[in-house]
Structure 1
Amino acid sequence: MPPRRPSRSVPTVVIPGWQGSGQGHWQTWLEGELRAQERQTLRPAFADLDNPDLDDWLTALRASLADLPADGYDVVAHSLGSVLWLHHVAGPGTSPRAARVLLVAPPSPHTTIPEVAEFFPPPLDIDTVRRGADGTVLVAGDDDEYLPEGIAAAYGLPLKMATTVVPGGGHLNPDAGYGEWPAVLDWCRRDNLAFY
């Protein structure tokens, strides 16, 4: 059920993935666009983006959420940041609940990349994900090399969650042409949960 709000003026928490989302990444572009509209954006202060540590990343995420109003902020996560969100909501319930969550291009739960091994497999519990936000949606490319089984099989069906597949979207990163991404800005501007 989408949150009921007359307009989107809530803060947006941007959770980057492994190696971050620096200049040229749609998350960085999104932050600039939202700030230009006088929208607050927050990004967890991870100690090391190149060598992710699950405990450090969880601590940084929870610190960035601590002062936000329950049901009064959105989350936009990419790649490993999406997996981090699943760990967060499965943990102790000390952070305020999000209004809406957009999980973009989470890698396959069967990922075996050594540098991020402790993040996998992620917890895929329907109830904890539903408790973590008023609504959560998944978006991924149909040809994401990090998600060969597809977003529906990997996450949508296990979590009974709405999915949007982007034809030819790859990993939905700058290498796939996603430096500016108007669709995600549109999602942040409107109230309904559906991505398109």
Structure 2
Amino acid sequence: MAQVLILHGWQNRRPDGHWQRWLAEELGGRGHEVRYPQLPEPDAPVRGEWLAALDDELRGTDPEQLTVVAHSLGCLLWVAHARARAAAGLGDPVARRVLLAAPPSDAVVTAIPEIAPFATSGDVSDERGAISASAVAAALTAASGEPPVVVAGDVDPYSPVEAEGLAARFDLERVVVEGGGHLTIDDGFGPFPLLLELVVGVGAAR
């Protein structure tokens, strides 16, 4: 059975009715090991504290069995984790598969003071001081056995321009959810069979 780590986003206190709780319950009912932690201070997250919490959750997991499912700011947390591993010279994957649901664009994140430190553009610079997207892409690729996959709504107010999105910037596969918005409760998610299928295999949610 698989191990699954679910990472929530900004201001998310893991409410009933959210697809992440639904996913955790569905997976647990199928016998999978699920970790669905409440990250510290979700309304005023501190990047270093969230990174430390992620490190704690990864202890004892099997990189060949682990799937990470991140949503919104949790996606940028995963990017920061991958970058930190690369900077430390740690090249072995820590997960088999990574699914990044509705990652917000840096343009949006940097405009919100509470979460601006999570912007991916602050992670790495080249010798000219410009952002090196290729270095971030390499770090993301190295952190998981399979290339990360972005799951995104076709019209997401938190990633309004496709060119600014994580998939385009870091050359990641993108699965589009028509009418998905930011993939929240308010957008109708709720049960999210597509995510379940991506975690455990095509057709598993039917």
Question: In the TM superposition, what whole-angstrom CA distance separates every residue of 1:113-141 from its partner, at most 9, and x where no partner exists?
Answer: 11111111454411100100012100111
Identity of aligned residues (%): 36
2:141 counterpart of 1:134:
no
Equivalence for 1:3:
none
Distance in 1, matches of 2:55 and 2:2, equals: 18
Distance in 2, matches of 1:65 and 1:94, equals: 15
State which of 39, 54, 58 in structure 1 corresponds to 2:51: 58
Question: In the TM superposition, what whole-angstrom CA distance separates every residue of 1:133-160 from its partner, at most 9, and x where no partner exists?
Answer: 012100111111111002x642222211
Equivalence for 1:176:
187
Equivalence for 2:115:
116
Distance in 2, matches of 1:177 and 1:133, equals: 30
2:176 counterpart of 1:165:
yes
Q: Is the 8 A contact 2:51 2:81 kept in 1?
A: yes
2:144 counterpart of 1:147:
no
2:101 counterpart of 1:104:
yes
Aligned pairs, number: 182
Distance in 1, matches of 2:30 and 2:62, equals: 20
Equivalence for 1:4:
none
Distance in 2, matches of 1:117 and 1:77, equals: 18
SS at 1:70 equivalent:
coil
User: Which TM-score applies when normalising by structure 1?
Assistant: 0.87
State which of 3, 27, 31 in structure 2 corresponds to 1:11: 3
Distance in 2, matches of 1:30 and 1:168, equals: 20
117-126 vs 28-37, greater mean Cα deviation: 117-126
Distance in 1, matches of 2:154 and 2:44, equals: 28
Structure 2 residue runs of 5 or longer lacking an equivalent are 124-132
Equivalence for 1:90:
83
Distance in 2, matches of 1:82 and 1:43, equals: 14
Equivalence for 2:21:
28
Distance in 1, matches of 2:50 and 2:29, equals: 28
Question: In the TM superposition, what whole-angstrom CA distance separates every residue of 1:91-121 from its partner, at most 9, and x where no partner exists?
Answer: 0339861100000001112221111111114
Distance in 1, matches of 2:19 and 2:28, equals: 14
Greater relative contact order (CA < 8 Å, ≥ 6 in sequence): 1
Distance in 2, matches of 1:153 and 1:45, equals: 28
23-32 vs 92-101, greater mean Cα deviation: 92-101
Letter in 2 for 1:16: H
Letter in 2 for 1:120: A
SS at 2:115 equivalent:
helix
Structure 1 residue runs of 5 or longer lacking an equivalent are 1-8, 192-196
SS at 1:29 equivalent:
helix
SS at 1:188 equivalent:
helix
Letter in 2 for 1:140: A
Equivalence for 2:70:
77
User: Which TM-score applies when normalising by structure 2?
Assistant: 0.83
SS at 1:114 equivalent:
coil
Equivalence for 1:6:
none
